[in-house]
Structures are given as structure tokens and as C-alpha cells.
């Protein structure tokens, strides 16, 4: 039994109109209410290489690549201007940590938070505003 093509088209045409017409009544996502996340990253260069105290006679060393997360475009210039102070804070914070703190992951997170807090406090004191939202280790090597 052969079907007529015009019969098939006439039968499915109202169905397609209903399906395509209903798309316009679906709820649309509202992008206007979402917060704008223009997060930017400033990588401290060169890498940070410094010593930390160990329990033995040898000093340990750590080599870090660190990125600072911030929101506003003009903060980049301020972060670059204050890079020496930021590096000093990081070196002092590392020097205060034990071998266990440097090597164990959850302890590393504790001193990362402490370093972030110290950097935020120093930049707030120098610039009047908290500039750094987060501190990220993009490379972390220790020996």
C-alpha cells in the first residue's frame, strides 16, 4: 500500500507547527541576573625558589610558580608594582613552615591560605583595597 506524499505532508504539518511554536514559550535563561566573573590572573615571574628548614642537616628547597587571581583590569599594574613585597611575603611565609607543612598536601593548603591572607593585608594597607582574591600554585616542586 503506497501512501500519497501530499497526504503525509498534510498530516505532519500541523504537528511541526505545534512543536516549533512551543519553543517560543519555553523559559529562556536570564543572563542579566548572573554576576559578571571577569577573573584575571597575574603570574609571578620569575619562579619563586627558596629554602625551608628540615629536620636533617640539609636545607630543603621549594620551587613555585604562583598566580594571583584578581577582578579588575587596573589591578594588574598595581600587582606588578608591588611584586617585590608579594615575593617577600611568600619567602617569609615559606621560611616559617616546617618540612611536614611543605610536603603534606592538606598542610600546604593551610600555609597557602596564610600567605594569601598576609598578601591581602599588605596590599590593603598599601593601596587601600583588597586586590587579590586567591593565590594559586601552578607549579609546586620541593626537595
pLDDT at 22: 64
pLDDT above 60 (res 2): no
| The pairing of beta strand 48-52 with beta strand 40-43 | unpaired
What is the mean pLDDT of the segment spanning 122-126? 94
18 compared with 51, residue with greater pLDDT = 51
pLDDT above 70 (res 8): no
Tell me 131's DSSP state. -
pLDDT above 70 (res 42): yes
Tell me: the pLDDT tens digits for 16-31?
666 666 666 666 555 5
Q: Assess contact for 64 and 139: CB atoms under 8 A.
A: yes
- Residue 35: count of CB within 10 angstroms of its CB: 5
Q: How far is CA 72 from CA 40, 43, 79, 82, in A?
A: 8, 15, 11, 16
| The pairing of beta strand 60-70 with beta strand 40-43 | antiparallel
What is the mean pLDDT of the segment spanning 85-111? 90
Residues paired with residue 51 on neighbouring β-strands, in sequence order: 61
Report the range of poorest mean pLDDT among 37-41, 91-95, 116-120.
Answer: 37-41
pLDDT above 80 (res 5): no
Local confidence band at 52 (pLDDT 50, 70, 90 cut-offs): confident
Amino acid at each position: 500500500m503506497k501512501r500519497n506524499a501530499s497526504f503525509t505532508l498534510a498530516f505532519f504539518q500541523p504537528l511541526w507547527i505545534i512543536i516549533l511554536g512551543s519553543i517560543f514559550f519555553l523559559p529562556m535563561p536570564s543572563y542579566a541576573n548572573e554576576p559578571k566573573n571577569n577573573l584575571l590572573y597575574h603570574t609571578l615571574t620569575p619562579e619563586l625558589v627558596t629554602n625551608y628548614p628540615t629536620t636533617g642537616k640539609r636545607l630543603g628547597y621549594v620551587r613555585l610558580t604562583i598566580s594571583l587571581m584578581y577582578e579588575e583590569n587596573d589591578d594588574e599594574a598595581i600587582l606588578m608594582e608591588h611584586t617585590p613585597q608579594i615575593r617577600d611575603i611568600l619567602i617569609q611565609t615559606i621560611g616559617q613552615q616546617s618540612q611536614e607543612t611543605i610536603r603534606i598536601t592538606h598542610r600546604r593548603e593551610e600555609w597557602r591560605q596564610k600567605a594569601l591572607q598576609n598578601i591581602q593585608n599588605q596590599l590593603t594597607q598599601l593601596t587601600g583595597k583588597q586586590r587579590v582574591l586567591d593565590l594559586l600554585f601552578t607549579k609546586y616542586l620541593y626537595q
